[in-house]
Structure 1
Amino acid sequence: MSLNTAIPTLEGDAQFGAYVARSKGPLKGAIVVIQEIFGVNDGIRQKCDKFAAEGYIAIAPDLFWRLKPGIELDPDVEPEFHQALDWMGKFNQDAGIRDIQATINHVRAAEGTSKVGCVGYCLGGRLAFMTAARTDIDASVGYYGVGIDGLLEEKQAIANPVLLHIPTKDGFVGPETQAAMHAGLDDHPKVTLYDYEGLNHGFATEIGNRRDEAAASLADGRTSAFFARHLG
């Protein structure tokens, strides 16, 4: 099942879809899983299922819904990759953050959990950083977030823990951007950065050609420990 729940906007004038996976055991908290530019596809749903297996409610909102509800694309199919880039160019990130806040509000009210974290990938990694600065999220994780160097003026607003995974050979986040992220965030008391030497963008995807098994396992283990510490 692709999208299996509906979330009201902050304004209450519309609803958007989301995929939810629920823990079958004692509940540790909730995690908002923020999509790549490829929509809430199989890989993002698998991320949710993994977090549910660890004891969380995991929810992935369809952030492209204002453009076209239910977009699902495969990064390994070249025409679909280019479609995704086109959707990203049209996407209103500020509206996306409002939808993430709506998702946080929804999961707290509907699922009865107060602690909510978020984790995002690619575009979602950027949005996870914005979520840390602009919402009341309890903990945030970003994988290979793009353009975070342009958001550093927002770092003073970060009140809760943030973890960023940075592959050093990221074709979308070059050495100068990585250096700026370290210069701007290494001394931030709430932010932790991990570098992954020689790895490229998308190394922790669940499926497809981009995945690096060893690095993905390392990064995901760090993410699991981070959420256990800050959402438990």
Structure 2
Amino acid sequence: MNEIRTSVVAVGPLQGYLAAPRDGSGVGMVLLPMITGIGAQVRAYAEDIAATGITALVWDPFHGPNADDTPRERLYELMNGLDDDAALAEIRLLTDHLLGELGAERVGMLGYCLGGRLALLAGARDERLANVIAY
């Protein structure tokens, strides 16, 4: 297992959760969470991925609210207000950040539930992705 570092990062107008091997990595993964947003469970997933040597950058679908501090009913309301094109533009920005500023040579995408659907859509639109995994 690799030693990792974690932080909340700004990517343009967005914030995401970054978990990365302390020594860096040439491989990145954009994580698209389920309705929980960047709650504790998703942060743990990102940290597990980083411990294997892959930089994980998590998209924040709700720009702050998550299962740690927001009732599920409110998260459902937020999910129903998501626009595919706007969400995919944000996801592309995170992919750009991994390939650019974070120095990844290859980037994949992993989505859970809500994020799984968006991962498939992103994979159909972004030929730079090395893989797409949808749960």
- Provide TM-score, normalisation by structure 2: 0.87
1:93 aligns to 2:96 (yes or no):
no
CA distance in 2 between counterparts of 1:3 and 1:113 reads 17
Structure number with greater Rg is 1
Residue 127 (structure 1) aligned with residue 118 (structure 2) = yes
Secondary structure in structure 2 of the residue aligned to 1:104: helix
Aligned residues of 1:24 and 1:55 also touching (Cα < 8 A): no
Q: Paired residue for 2:66?
A: 72
Residues 123-148 of structure 1: per-residue CA shift (max 9 Å, x gap): 001011011101232211000xxxxx
For 1:107 and 1:6, how far apart are their aligned partners in 2? 12
Tell me the equivalent position of 2:130: 138
The aligned amino acid for 1:89 is: N
Give the distance between the partners of 1:62 and 1:119, measured in 2 at CA.
14
Separation of aligned partners in 1, 2:133 and 2:55? 16
- Higher RCO structure (Cα 8 Å, ≥6 apart): 2
Aligned pairs for 1:12-161 (under 5 A) are 15-25=13-23, 27-65=25-63, 70-73=64-67, 80-135=71-126, 136-143=128-135
What is the RMSD of the two structures over their aligned residues, measured on CA atoms?
1.8
| Unaligned stretches of 5+ residues in structure 2 | 1-5
CA deviation after TM superposition for structure 1 residue 49, in Å: 0.1
Q: CA contact under 8 A between 2:123 and 2:129: conserved in structure 1?
A: yes
Number of aligned pairs?
A: 128
| Equivalent residue letter for 1:131 | A
Secondary structure at the residue paired with 2:101?
helix
CA–CA distance in structure 2, aligned partners of residues 29 and 120 of structure 1: 17
**Structure with more of its chain in helix, by fraction:** 1
Q: Percent identity?
A: 27
The equivalent of 2:3 in structure 1 is: none
- Contact 2:9/2:18 (<8 A) preserved: yes
State the TM-score, normalizing by the size of structure 1. 0.52
CA distance in 2, matches of 1:64, 1:91: 8
Q: Distance in 2 between matches of 1:88 and 1:61?
A: 14
Q: Is the 8 A contact 2:26 2:105 kept in 1?
A: no
Deviations 1:6-64 (A, max 9, x none): 112xxxxxx11000011135625000010111211111111110000000110002122
Which runs of 5 or more residues in structure 1 are unaligned? 9-14, 144-232
Q: Matched residues in 1 for 2:37 and 2:60: separation?
A: 7
The alignment partner of 1:124 has SS state of helix
Moved over 2 A (4+): 24-28
Q: Hey, which of these two has a bigger chunk of strand by percent?
A: 2
* Whole-angstrom CA distance in 2 between matches of 1:110 and 1:28: 12
